[in-house]
Amino acid sequence: MPETKAARPARGRPARKPARRDLLLDEAARRINAQGAGAIVINDIAEQVGLSRNALYYYVADRADLVFRCYLRACEAMTDDLVAAHEQGGDPSTRIRLFVEASLAFDRPEQTVLSDIDFLPEPQRGVIRAHNARNVEALKDLIGEGVRAAAFRPCDVEVAAQALIGMIAWARLAAGWLDYRDSRAARRRMIVTIVDLFLHGFSADPNAATDGAIDVEVLTARPFNAFDRRQTNEIKITQLIAAASRLFNRRGIDGASLDEIGASVGATKGAVYHYFDDKSDLVVRCYRRAFELYDLFMDTAVASGRTGFERAMLSLHLNVQAQAGPLSPLMLQPGRLSLPADEMARITAASKRLRMTSTRSLRHGVTDGSCRAMDSAVAGEVAAGIFLWLPKWLPEDYALSPMRLADEINRLIGLGLEVRAA
């Protein structure tokens, strides 16, 4: 949107300093993304921005209220970005680009990733869900407009909209998980690559086959001996970790309790504590399991794919199947700084290793002609946001099976939305 006179500081005057409320929300958003909604200490945040305890409660009632206001600000910002993209852009592709550029603009205040909505009490939880749903509908309309104009390929607009939101959400968190500086240059690469990948896909051939041929449940199946007491015990632990991962993925780590996790597999809270020291220990075990699965998917894709493009598609397909199905490896989400330092170091190293393997596959694809020329290092990274975001929006009764959903996402990201000549 062109800058209006009302939006510009008057000539010769310094720009208005952010209000204390804005500073409070800025700092809270950074900490929620890094620590998780339930781990922030609002008095520490207030002290950081120069607010006394009494002044703090002039702006927010409590921690939940502060999280709610951060989430609401993020929803309102997305609404503004969608409206501005609609008003400024001409064709649907330009509007998509403007929306992504606004969402990830380096100079704007940090926006909270909507990961722990279930941490909020009602009615605040309902307010955020309703506002977010309206934004998703607006993005679906934007994509649908492109499909109706034959500028975009026919697609499932819900899947496409959520895939884009997932890449944007992961772009806000990736620097922390992968331990690189979120500089202006890094953010710009993210923006350009998300738009390029969403519109044009990985493939050099607009008619390339993108469906996966490996069933993730068959790949991860293990033999079971009911008479082996040790194995039976390990199965119980694995079931609890898998149940916790599913609930943490859907509701956020701070939105799911140990009682709920145990109840989901018919176990008591005491049984959970029999196998895990506390919730932090359970989260760590969930991440360890997740990276065992992520490594398996990547290794399988590298071993099975004949071209760089096939490897990228196989890896994406397996990860989507896993997140959409019962495996549900724990997604990388807000809360990294709540992990023990040694565990965070292991996760960071594992994440970097996966990123490097993905980059090598894509560069191989550019060399062998199966992939378009692209920023390979960033393309593999932002694509991860698609499957990492799946549990946040996918209904349990979704019409598409995990295999068919993975096929749909692979077509979307493999070929891109824009109609390309063969």
How many residues comprise the chain? 422
Domain that residue 236 falls in: 216-370+391-397
Amino acid identity, position 97: R
Is 348 found in the same domain as 223? yes
Is 244 found in the same domain as 114? no
In the chain, the number of structural domains is 2
Identify whether the C-beta of residue 152 lies closer than 8 Å to the C-beta of residue 419. Answer: yes
Instruction: Enter the tokens of residue 107.
Output: 């100079």
The predicted structure's pLDDT at residue 7:
36
Domain boundary among 118, 152, 186: 152
Is 223 found in the same domain as 145? no
The Cα 271–Cα 275 span in angstroms is 7
| Digitized pLDDT (tens) for each residue of the chain, 422 residues in all | 334 333 333 344 444 556 889 999 999 999 999 999 999 999 999 999 999 988 999 999 999 999 999 999 999 999 999 999 999 978 999 999 999 999 999 999 999 999 999 999 999 999 999 999 999 999 999 999 999 999 999 999 999 999 999 999 999 999 999 999 999 999 999 999 999 999 999 999 999 999 878 999 999 987 655 555 666 678 888 999 999 999 999 999 998 999 999 999 888 888 888 899 999 999 999 999 999 999 999 999 999 999 999 999 999 999 999 999 999 999 999 999 999 999 999 999 999 999 999 999 999 999 999 999 999 999 999 999 999 999 999 998 899 999 999 999 999 999 999 998 76
CATH number of the CATH domain containing 143: 1.10.357.10
Is 346 found in the same domain as 223? yes
Give the residue from 379, 334, 296 showing the smallest Cα distance to 176.
334
Characterize 92-111 residue by residue with b for buried, 16 or more Cβ atoms within 10 angstroms of its Cβ, and e for exposed: bbebbbbbbbbbbeeeebbb
What's the whole-model pTM score? 0.92
